[in-house]
Amino acid sequence: MVVYGGIALVGLTFGPVAGAVLASSALMAHAVWDDIHYRRNAVVPRSLAEACMFFDVPLGLAVIVVVLAGLS
């Protein structure tokens, strides 16, 4: 939680596009973290890790798509 909070604070110092890319990257990195929990079947129930993975990746991709659509 501290790492993601720090990333959020750093993202505030960047421009909007770089901040959005950083937020998107953090979401997709969280999906990797969820995958680790899913495979180990530890920390959280597998169904929660799986649901979070399938939420983080599309949301991360959507953030990049929205930012790129706003640039053109």
Residue from 64, 49, 60 nearest 18 by CA: 64
| Count of structural domains, the chain | 1
Its pTM stands at 0.78
- Residue 49 confidence (pLDDT) above 90: yes
Number of alpha carbons in the 13 Å side-chain half-sphere of residue 46: 4
Angle at 10 between CA 8 and CA 14, to 5 degrees: 110
pLDDT in tens, 20-33: 888 899 889 999 99
> Domain range holding 53?
2-71
What is the model's pLDDT at position 45?
93
- For the chain, what percent of residues have pLDDT higher than 70? 100
φ and ψ of 15, to 5 deg: -70, 170
- Residue 72 confidence (pLDDT) above 90: no
